Amino acid sequence: MASTKPLRSWFRSPYGLLAAFLLLTLGPSVGLVWLGWRLLDQDRALENQRIDERRERAADQVVASLQRALQTSELDLAQLRAPAAGDDALIVEFKASEVVAYPSGSLLFRPEASTPHDVSTNAFREAETYEFQHRDYERAISALQPLTRSPDTSIRARALLRMARNQRKAGQLDLALRTYTELAAYDKTAADGLPAGLVARRARCDVLAGLSRRQDLAKEASDLYTLLRRGQWRLSQAAYDVHAAEAAAWLGVNRDSEAPVLALAEAVAWLAAQEGRETLDSGRASSVRHNRLVTVLWTRGSEGLRALVAGPRYLEGRWLSPAAPLADRHRVTVTLKEPGPGTVAAGRSASVTGLPWPVLVVNRDAKAELEEFAGRRRLLLGALALLTVVVGAGSYSVARAYAREIAVMRLQSDFVSAVSHEFRTPLTSLRQLSETLNEGRPLEDERRARYYQALDRATNRLQKLVEGLLDFGRMESGAMVYRKQGVDAAALVTSVVNEFHREAGDRGYRVDLNAADDLPAIHADPEALGRAVWNLLDNAEKYSPECKTVQVDVEREGAGIAIRVQDHGLGIPAAEQQEVLRKFVRGTAAHTTGIKGTGIGLAMVKHIVDAHGGSLRVQSAPGAGSTFSIVLPAGG
């Protein structure tokens, strides 16, 4: 308990109060900054959570939208509403013997190769004997001639095919070309397992290539390629591929443009190859073919298995586009893929949603959103920083003012004790002298005279002290009245120096006065100015314990005059030279040497000089002495 007492008294001391004040102002503001910081941390976590939740919600809604879109398409499929020609999709119907595509011609090749129903006749055998065994092409052609008029189109087509072949072998190339043209008219009729139109066109290209008839070849190959891509004939994948490759080579083009249709046809082939196709019920699947995402939806109705095969354009236009406003609203991007490692995304796998693709939803501009948040945070931090600075600056200035006040208080109390000391010395001598005189003992005249002189000096000193203090009080309160008149500065300083000399002379001090002639008169209160000079002389004596010579100069400076008092005493450190002009401030010299004083002498000089529109200058160096200059403007 005893230890709390000094603590309590410390808190009651001025510095304790100052510390308490700083604690009370800075403490809460530091707490506030800390709270703000914590709040921001929580805010950031919430912001992240909000972004995550929005993404998850968006993913659910996007999946629901895709489900709806697919159901609509499945309804279309059930009702056999075929996609428009040129759409990036087709519907296929798996019938018992064939696959029907809608729109027709949209399927490049079929799962089932067309079944050739070649009928071998004796006539063909005879022609083949001429052709292959005897190499008698003319005879072979003659043998085939009647068959080209057969009622059976298939026989006609095959006869034409063979005739053209023999003509080529016989070197009758123009004839062969013509025969192939004739054959081409049989178009879809099978000739040796392939549609006559395809075989004839391909053969024409071959002949034209052999003849180097480039232009004709280009036209023929282009027709062939166009018809192939239009799904003109029912072909197996291999037959399509071989012929398309040949045609493209003759044309000198690459096959990239086939990719959309090829992708769809391959997807149909994939579905057809599914095990247990006959029992397939309904389903959804997707795969990437030719760099394109192909989606297959299939259902089994009363008519059998039907499938919608759709490419990316259809997917975008029919299924993804209804989800686009949703994505915009939630500021997310929807992609149909599995999440990669490290992606911040809401993923929905196909096995969970039942959709043919995985769905991946990412925030479109999570960075920008967090940036927005960071902006808000910067603002708050800025406000907190400003608050700290304002509170800090406020506390600092209050603390400074308070510290200054404490210093003044201390100076004042020093002043009071210094004044008491100053009074004590003359009062003590007065009491001793008056007691001695009162004793009534007979004294020698000389001794009595000395006593009276001492009495006079003590009284004088007291009077000067009292007058000085009263004047200082007036100066401080602004009540000092200066009775200014035209004054001869040299004469005034001379009389002050003489008076000072009388007093200080017997203490061994010498004042050398050097007053210039023809100095301009100044407008001044002689008594106040005299006091100022006296104070400087008094200090010069007090702070020069070793060298007892004081130099006083009165001279012209610019348009005015300067009164300089120079000593060779203790001097004043540079850092103190302005400070000592303030009231109650006593310098290090005074403190270390114990020289008595009240700390108001120079403050009074400054008051007086200021009141005369002049300036007070100090030049000093510790150990080398000081020069105080009063510079006053001239004016009578």
The residues binding ligand ADP (CB under 6 A) are 539-540, 543, 567, 569-572, 580, 586-587, 589-590, 597-603, 626
Q: φ and ψ at 311, to 5 degrees?
A: -90, -175
Amino acid making up residue 485: Q
Residue 288 β-bridge partners = 293
Measured CA to CA, the distance from residue 107 to residue 90 in angstroms comes to 8
Nearer to ligand ADP, 297 or 550 (CB): 550
460-to-426, 453, 532, 613 alpha-carbon distances in Å:
9, 10, 18, 31
Nearer to ligand ADP, 293 or 600 (CB): 600
Measured CA to CA, the distance from residue 332 to residue 329 in angstroms comes to 8
List, as one string, the DSSP characters of 357-419: S-EEEEETTHHHHHHHHHHHHHHHHHHHHHHHHHHHHHHHHHHHHHHHHHHHHHHHHHHHHHH
Helix (H, G, I), strand (E, B) or coil at 313: helix
Q: How far is the CB of 573 from ligand ADP (least distance, A)?
A: 10
Nearer to ligand ADP, 282 or 577 (CB): 577
Q: How far is the CB of 477 from ligand ADP (least distance, A)?
A: 19
Report which of 501, 433, 418, 488 is spatially closest to residue 632, judged by C-alpha positions: 488
Report angle CA 226, 230, 236 to the nearest 5 degrees: 105
Measured CA to CA, the distance from residue 462 to residue 573 in angstroms comes to 31
Amino acid making up residue 119: V
Nearer to ligand ADP, 130 or 415 (CB): 415
Q: How far is the CB of 577 from ligand ADP (least distance, A)?
A: 9
Tokens of 116: 């050739």
Nearer to ligand ADP, 312 or 569 (CB): 569
Widest Cα–Cα separation across the chain: 193
List, as one string, the DSSP characters of 208-245: HHHTT-HHHHHHHHHHHHHHHHTT-S---HHHHHHHHH
Q: How far is the CB of 636 from ligand ADP (least distance, A)?
A: 31
Sign, Cα dihedral of 290, 292, 293, 297? negative
Q: How far is the CB of 567 from ligand ADP (least distance, A)?
A: 5
Q: How far is the CB of 571 from ligand ADP (least distance, A)?
A: 6
Nearer to ligand ADP, 51 or 602 (CB): 602
Sign, Cα dihedral of 216, 217, 219, 220? positive
Residue 287 β-bridge partners = 294
Nearer to ligand ADP, 295 or 539 (CB): 539
Q: How far is the CB of 472 from ligand ADP (least distance, A)?
A: 10
Q: How far is the CB of 586 from ligand ADP (least distance, A)?
A: 4
Q: How far is the CB of 445 from ligand ADP (least distance, A)?
A: 38
Q: How far is the CB of 537 from ligand ADP (least distance, A)?
A: 9
Q: How far is the CB of 584 from ligand ADP (least distance, A)?
A: 8
What is the distance of C-alpha 187 from the center of its chain?
Answer: 71
In sequence order, which residues have a C-beta less than 8 Å from that of residue 187 and are 6 or more positions away?
195, 196, 197, 232, 233
Measured CA to CA, the distance from residue 221 to residue 216 in angstroms comes to 8
Nearer to ligand ADP, 356 or 587 (CB): 587
Helix axes 173-184, 196-210, angle to 10 degrees: 160
Q: How far is the CB of 590 from ligand ADP (least distance, A)?
A: 3
Nearer to ligand ADP, 339 or 587 (CB): 587
Nearer to ligand ADP, 65 or 539 (CB): 539
Q: How far is the CB of 465 from ligand ADP (least distance, A)?
A: 11
Measured CA to CA, the distance from residue 218 to residue 248 in angstroms comes to 10
Measured CA to CA, the distance from residue 190 to residue 116 in angstroms comes to 6
Measured CA to CA, the distance from residue 256 to residue 229 in angstroms comes to 12
What Rg do the C-alpha atoms of the chain give, in angstroms?
61
Nearer to ligand ADP, 362 or 585 (CB): 585
Nearer to ligand ADP, 124 or 543 (CB): 543
Burial of 272 (0-12, 13-18, 19+ CB in 10 A): middle
442-to-152, 300, 434, 447, 455 alpha-carbon distances in Å:
186, 156, 14, 10, 18
Nearer to ligand ADP, 17 or 595 (CB): 595
Q: How far is the CB of 491 from ligand ADP (least distance, A)?
A: 24
Report which of 127, 117, 170 is spatially closest to residue 148, judged by C-alpha positions: 127
Nearer to ligand ADP, 199 or 536 (CB): 536
Q: How far is the CB of 468 from ligand ADP (least distance, A)?
A: 10
Nearer to ligand ADP, 298 or 543 (CB): 543
